[in-house]
Structure 1
Amino acid sequence: MGKVVIVATLDTKGTEVAYLRDRLNALGVDTVVLDSGILGEPTGIVPDVSNAELAESGGTTIAELRASGTRGSAVAQMRDCAIAWVREHHAAGELTGGISVGGVGSVMGAAAIQVLPVGIPKIVVAPTASGHHEFAPYVGTKDVLVMHSVVDILGLNPVLTTVFDNVAAAMAGMLQHGHPLTPPASGPRYVATTMLGNTTAAVGAVRDRLSEHDCETVVFHSNGVGGPAMEELAVDGQFVGVIDYTTNEINDPLVGGIHDGGPDRLRKVGLAGLPQVLVPACIDFSVWAPASIPQEMRSRPRYEHNPEYTLVLATHEEKAEMGRIFAERVSETTGPALIIMPMRGLSIPATPDGPFWDPEGDALFLAALRAHLRDDIEIRTIDLHSNDPALGRIVADAFLELLATSPIATAPKEYA
């Protein structure tokens, strides 16, 4: 069945990883232990892949890493070595799961096991996985189980061994009863879409309309991770097309908000040639924890979405910049694409009596979109609000028109 890779810095975590390895082996789980440590030699364990071997597999040496100048540079290079090792050995069919163990060093292993596809069990166990630290390095865009070790990983004690026993049991259970994500079978056609609370009503209407035409909708929360995860799975062949209804993840990178979709957001689906309909819903705001709103943005109109998240209105300059970004990225598409622009507001607070009502700013976005968009890509303006179910049905019907002309519309399995 293959092995579960355990990635850890064994110069400081060797004895503890040996315990976890033995618990996994006792449950019938085969393992391969990678030493991602840089400074010292493993203690209390003999790794299956030494730090020297891991470095050499990535085209460097442990001596070069130790002489790289800074700890951060050495860690970054060893992380890349671990990522490449896991990618290569999973492609060879040798790995069925991954575990990252450590303190700060767990981020190295987490990056490596995130190479494993959705459905392949992945666990990060670390004292820093407490909710007081950024979870993005642990999870990325994958289905990673994060286990807080409660105590630091330094010496075996009843608390740590209990946590490790449960980590081993969780991995064994997932391997026995779970399954990897497989390519879509013939039958229902799966369509991906993006949504926030600000577009729930409209996306619900999209889903209902598509279901009338033998299409099942897979909805991603456009929270800075959901959009990129959708794009990765689309490229992997999970969907016959995409309705990117909620494209706010291009806004937050401009101002430092929470829902940052990264520099490739809006690119990958088009480059894969998939049919897509895009709606600039929710591009009019960035998302913040209330206490984290920068001082220079505190005078802007705001909307309290819930006690944890506050929405802050984009400026006219930011909307124009987003129009350019939107256009340039969608213009890279190699497949059919259509943009539908709602003209009666881009989010729930964008109504004539709401704090985000800004037709002038929306017009600047649209003007920049038209100025920079490839000539053969159509923009349809619709005199409806972005969260109107009627607009959702219009978007769904437009997507079905694109899908009918796509060569993958009747052959999702072959495309995958």
Structure 2
Amino acid sequence: MATVALVGTCDTKLEELLFLRSQILQHEGLQVLMIDVGRNPVSHEAITITQPELISEYRGDDTTLGPSTLPRGDLIKFMSSCATKAIQSLFSAGLIHGIISAGGSGGTSLAATAMRSALPIGFPKLIVSTVASGNTGPYVGEADIAMLYSVVDIAGLNSVLREVLSNAAASIAAAAQGYALRHSQSAVQPDETEKKKKRIGITMFGVTTPAVDAIRRYLPQDKYETLVFHATGHGGRAMERLIREGAIDAVIDLTTTEICDLIVPGGVMSAGPGRLSAAAEAGIPCLVSLGATDMVNFGPKETVPERYAGRKLYVHNPAVTLMRVDIEEARKVGEFIAGKLKGSKEPRMVQMWIPRGGVSVISKAGGIFEDKKADEVLFETIREGLKGSVVRVVDDERDINDEEFARDIAGALDDLVGKS
């Protein structure tokens, strides 16, 4: 028997939530655990954890807060905290196998926060939302939350909403049953060879794809499983999260471009100030390079902030415009990287590889982003910043996408893993 947690604001969406519950229960072998996260208490036999029970059990040490008079933003923060603790408890006890919610922007924010915080990647998560056709990044973040656009508002049942909710119910029912089966005691276990493989996180961008493809070929397939993360902000955060969850054993952080978008105001692909932190804190083998640190990412060309008029721009595609990092920005990027690597728990497990021939396809000799002065400032800042530490710095004359550079990167990582 698989159990789906259904999270929603029963004081405003009870009719819709009950319909969603009924559609999940149409599928054989499913049961529903319903959690009320609304502002006002609701009494109904279908609610498993009522709002007062949720607050009483999971509010934490703060005994003064209460939802009835809280402003909307504070209410969402408070109830998402309670919901997070409840869902963590249910998951840890093995009592749920999937989770679903339905709501507007507030309910979506509340449910998404709880799902991101309480549940690991791989656990089925689905939100039916009125905002799912827009920018879902703030809700999904680095997690694997599936979002389904409700088409009409979740404000009374009608023929359209019934179809959408029925599809959502079928989706989470199948996912929960699959998860329960995979994680049951009778599930087929991976063979010993697969279990012994080390999981290697690798960061990639379009302009470093040749290098990553080559690294994957050179890493022995019988020893390693590679997890490639697209360095678009969410990709970097996802890798950091999986390292903290113990799902990655070593890292080839080849493409550290997200740091440029953190350092340069307006960049749209920052992974936040925690980038490069997880591997350093975990002390796992970590080989870092400077892939795509020549560029900052913006949207379509017309969205590039006016302050950057006159800077060197390159239209990567209609949705992405790149701006060349200048000397001062390169210095700040180098300081950030060196500072993070110096703080590693196991600095002997860390290496910095500097590809002097170019950090991307378009910054090597003759490329549109070639700028030897800016690159040298980046390289020298990192070398100076790591001086006196035991982090190994490898100065290499090749560019980052050179086939032999990739081969040596793979070999160096293999050596580090052996030493660990």
TM-score, normalised relative to structure 2: 0.90
SS at match of 1:64: coil
Structure-2 residue corresponding to 1:222: 231
1:384 alignment partner AA: R
Contact 1:124 1:138 in 2 (8 A): no
Q: Tell me the CA shift for residue 241 of structure 1.
A: 0.9
1:79 pairs with 2:80:
yes
* Structure 1 residues 144-196: Cα deviation after superposition (integer angstroms, max 9, x where no partner): 21111111001111111111111111111112335469999533332110101
SS at match of 2:279: helix
Contact 2:198 2:250 in 1 (8 A): no
1:301 pairs with 2:312:
yes
**Cα 1:98–1:137, aligned 2, differ >3 Å: closer, same or farther?**
farther
1:264 pairs with 2:274:
yes
1:372 pairs with 2:389:
no
Give the alignment's Cα RMSD to 1 decimal.
2.2
Structure-1 residue corresponding to 2:97: 96
* Structure 1 residues 16-55: Cα deviation after superposition (integer angstroms, max 9, x where no partner): 00110111122132112222222x3448775222223223
Q: How many residues align?
A: 402
Most deviating of 270-279 and 357-366: 357-366
SS at match of 1:84: helix
**Cα 1:196–1:103, aligned 2, differ >3 Å: closer, same or farther?**
same
Contact 2:41 2:52 in 1 (8 A): no
Structure-1 residue corresponding to 2:147: 146
Q: Tell me the CA shift for residue 340 of structure 1.
A: 0.1
Structure-2 residue corresponding to 1:34: 35
Unaligned runs of 5+ in 2: none
1:372 alignment partner AA: G
SS at match of 1:112: helix
Contact 1:3 1:32 in 2 (8 A): yes
Q: Tell me the CA shift for residue 9 of structure 1.
A: 1.5
In structure 2, what is the Cα distance between the partners aligned to 1:243 and 1:180? 30
In structure 2, what is the Cα distance between the partners aligned to 1:201 and 1:44? 58
Indicate which of 378, 382, 387 corresponds to 2:401.
387
Structure-1 residue corresponding to 2:170: 169
In structure 2, what is the Cα distance between the partners aligned to 1:62 and 1:75? 16
Q: Tell me the CA shift for residue 201 of structure 1.
A: 0.5
Q: Tell me the CA shift for residue 64 of structure 1.
A: 2.6
* Structure 1 residues 328-373: Cα deviation after superposition (integer angstroms, max 9, x where no partner): 1122222300000111111222133333111111221222222333
2:69 alignment partner AA: A
**Cα 1:43–1:158, aligned 2, differ >3 Å: closer, same or farther?**
farther
SS at match of 2:254: strand
Structure-2 residue corresponding to 1:359: 372
* Structure 1 residues 97-145: Cα deviation after superposition (integer angstroms, max 9, x where no partner): 1112100121110111223222211101101101x2x212332222221
* 1:317-332 map, 5 Å: 317-332=328-343
In structure 2, what is the Cα distance between the partners aligned to 1:324 and 1:338? 16
In structure 2, what is the Cα distance between the partners aligned to 1:63 and 1:325? 39
Contact 1:7 1:35 in 2 (8 A): yes
Contact 2:2 2:176 in 1 (8 A): no
Contact 1:227 1:261 in 2 (8 A): yes
In structure 2, what is the Cα distance between the partners aligned to 1:330 and 1:173? 43
2:289 alignment partner AA: V
Indicate which of 104, 126, 130 corresponds to 1:127.
130
Structure-1 residue corresponding to 2:247: 238
Structure-2 residue corresponding to 1:106: 108
In structure 2, what is the Cα distance between the partners aligned to 1:129 and 1:275? 38
In structure 2, what is the Cα distance between the partners aligned to 1:177 and 1:321? 47
SS at match of 2:75: helix
Share of identical aligned residues, percent? 33
SS at match of 1:66: coil
In structure 2, what is the Cα distance between the partners aligned to 1:21 and 1:217? 39
* 1:190-209 map, 5 Å: 190-209=199-218
In structure 1, what is the Cα distance between the partners aligned to 2:104 and 2:249? 41
Contact 1:247 1:283 in 2 (8 A): yes
Structure-1 residue corresponding to 2:47: 47
Contact 1:15 1:43 in 2 (8 A): no
Contact 1:117 1:180 in 2 (8 A): no
2:218 alignment partner AA: R
Structure-2 residue corresponding to 1:398: 412
Q: Tell me the CA shift for residue 312 of structure 1.
A: 1.1
Structure-1 residue corresponding to 2:121: 118
SS at match of 1:386: coil
SS at match of 1:281: coil
**Cα 1:331–1:180, aligned 2, differ >3 Å: closer, same or farther?**
farther
Q: Tell me the CA shift for residue 399 of structure 1.
A: 0.9
